[in-house]
């Protein structure tokens, strides 16, 4: 197992298990997972559908709680829950708020974290510019293509300059050209921010671009490997 003893751990999972439901209908989505995320790590989280990738991403983000075991965020000064922008999360499906235009969607997490409106708008516009989406700032989500909407979602996650970026199959619903754009944006931003990146993906060509592989099977992490 890869160790990063010489760096401060951003997130640490110790024997983490997550069970959904109870009794005969209970489903163990994640079982006995141990992993450590250090600053600057770029991780491809792979495995078939139902292997526990999405559940693990949600656990790492603090959006879900383990049934047993512990998750700690020592390098983030505690759980990111209730602290918008500490961890940037990109979901697989549509996640933009329909009533808000693109700039408002990107600036919302900044406003929720206490950034004043003027600065939040400027940082949102900067994130859109970095993503090559500046001209879309006044559009509503319904006016965007699927690829554009997902790149806006990435810009929203990056506008707060997070220490950790967690992306759950962000290219899963895109064609190959748009998927490549989203993946390139995530990798470039993670490098520029020196943020840790966990990218859950079925795309092995995409996974091969990241130096660390966490492979899931039946809820277990069966491989933690570094190139």
CB 105 within 8 A of CB 52: no
CATH 3.40.50.300 fits 11-226, yes or no: yes
Q: How confident is the model at residue 227 (pLDDT cuts 50, 70, 90)?
A: low
Residue 82 CB neighbours (<10 A): 10
Q: What is the pTM of this model?
A: 0.89
- At 183 the pLDDT is 87
Percentage of residues of the chain with pLDDT beyond 70: 95
56 vs 176, higher pLDDT = 56
Of residues 145, 212, 197, the one with CA closest to residue 173 = 145
pLDDT per residue over 59-73, tens digit each? 999 999 999 999 999
- The predicted model gives 71-100 an average pLDDT of 90
- At 205 the pLDDT is 87
* Residues pairing with 72 in the sheet: 12
DSSP H/E element including 214: strand 212-217
- At 3 the pLDDT is 42
Q: How far apart are the C-alpha atoms of 219 and 2, rounded to whole Å?
A: 19
The residues spanned by each domain of the chain are: 11-226
pLDDT per residue over 104-139, tens digit each? 999 998 998 899 999 999 999 999 998 889 999 999
């Amino acid at each position: 197992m890869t160790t990063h003893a010489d760096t401060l751990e951003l997130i640490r999972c110790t024997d983490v298990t997550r069970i959904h439901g109870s009794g005969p209908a209970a489903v163990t989505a994640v079982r006995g997972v141990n992993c450590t995320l250090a600053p600057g790590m770029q991780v491809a989280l792979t495995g078939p559908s139902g292997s526990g990738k999405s559940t693990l991403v949600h656990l790492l983000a603090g959006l879900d709680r383990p049934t047993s075991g512990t998750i700690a965020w020592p390098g983030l000064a505690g759980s990111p829950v209730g602290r918008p922008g500490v961890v940037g999360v990109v979901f697989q499906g549509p996640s933009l708020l329909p009533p808000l235009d693109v700039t408002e969607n990107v600036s919302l997490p900044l406003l929720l974290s206490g950034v004043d409106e003027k600065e939040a708008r400027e940082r949102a516009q900067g994130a859109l510019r970095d993503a090559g989406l500046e001209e879309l700032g006044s559009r509503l989500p319904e006016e965007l293509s699927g690829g554009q909407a997902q790149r806006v979602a990435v810009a929203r996650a990056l506008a707060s300059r997070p220490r950790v970026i967690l992306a759950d199959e962000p290219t899963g619903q895109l064609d190959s050209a748009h998927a490549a754009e989203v993946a390139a944006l995530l990798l470039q931003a993670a490098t520029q921010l020196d943020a840790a990146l966990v990218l859950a993906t079925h795309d092995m060509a995409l996974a091969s671009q990241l130096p660390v592989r966490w492979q899931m099977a039946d809820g277990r992490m069966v491989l933690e490997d570094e190139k």
